[in-house]
Amino acid sequence: MKSVLVRRAGGPDVLEVVDMPVPEPGPGEVRVSVRAIGVNYADVMGRKAIHRSIRPPPIVIGCEASGVIDACGSGVDPARLNERVGVYSPFGGAYAEALTVPQQYALPLPAKMPFEEAAAFTHVFLTAHEALNGVAPLRKGTTVLVTAAAGGLGGALIQLVQAAEAQIIAAVGSEAKRQLLATRGLASVIDYGKTDLTSAVLAATGGRGVDLAIETVGGDLFQQAQRALAPLGRIVIAGMAGGKEAPVDLAALLDRSATCTTLNLSVVFAHRPDRIRSVWSDLTRLYEAGKLQPRIGHRFKLQDAAEAHRLLESRASTDKILLLS
């Protein structure tokens, strides 16, 4: 089978398409014949060997895919054969024509969800849901700031905020992305590429700030986001796509009696599987009701994974990037 192997850490050029044996599922595992693959910034960090939860090279990278279960290991109900699934794989392996995962990491798809949509849904909507609801349920009327709002995770966050009838302030890094979100009906979109995020958020909220900020970039932008919190607000570190750590300012938080939390979805999967099943049920129900719709911005062939990574790192992409096997 074709796989994308990283033998050593580096730039997109280290992504090597190779032939590998088709894996066999071990006890409690399923093998998934892959139809579509979601490209995430975690894959870039894995390629660079800087992701805290992804083992270093050599590794077949990729944490999100969709496909059909075509083999079951011992201890797995054989009725799962031929089941259509979305896959979250913090172990890597998704950039391939097949992968094996523990059976609880292969989640049943709604009957009418296409594979491409599933590969743009599984990881990002689970992450978005936990970022918004992991500490406490998102309440109607809550004001939520989302950075990198034009990307795959940003789009999932926006839709879930809207589904909860909360208020969204979207923040993006270019005028083109600001215009894109404005054409989709968002009333409050900030271009932090040309304005201070803190000042813009405070202006948009009458000086109060936001109740919840979901921050995925890190570095200076995180600092600006935490200074934009309302009293008793909360900021969630859900990524560091900018490559710099999120410098938590305890004084800024203490001034507002605000809090900072973190999200690592792989830890939630490993230690709260019952919650994942419950959340997945809620998300697929919202999808079937037409309240959630993954947006796909770019499609590449599996052998063009390097081009997909170049696009993602250019910051010019919008919505979800897919690889098609």
- Show pLDDT as tens, one digit a residue, over the chain (325 residues): 999 999 999 999 999 999 999 999 999 999 999 999 999 999 999 999 988 889 999 999 999 999 999 999 999 999 999 999 999 999 999 999 999 999 999 999 999 999 999 999 999 999 999 999 999 999 999 999 999 999 999 999 999 999 999 999 999 999 999 999 999 999 999 999 999 999 999 999 999 999 999 999 988 999 999 999 999 999 999 887 766 777 888 888 999 999 999 999 999 999 999 999 999 999 999 999 999 999 999 999 999 999 999 999 998 899 999 999 8
Q: Which two tokens stand for residue 74?
A: 């011992």
Pair 161, 131: CB distance under 8 Å: no
Distance (Å, rounded) from C-alpha 60 to C-alpha 100?
Answer: 12
Catalogue the E-assigned strands of the chain: 2-6, 15-19, 29-39, 59-60, 64-72, 84-88, 98-102, 106-108, 143-146, 167-172, 189-191, 210-215, 229-237, 259-262, 296-301, 320-324
d(CA 170, CA 153): 12
User: Domains in the chain, please, with CATH?
Assistant: 2-121+294-324 (3.90.180.10), 125-265 (3.40.50.720)
What is the C-alpha separation between 44 and 239, in angstroms, rounded?
Answer: 12
Distance CA 171, CA 18 (A): 39
Q: Give the global pTM.
A: 0.94
173 close to 200: Cβ distance less than 8 angstroms: no
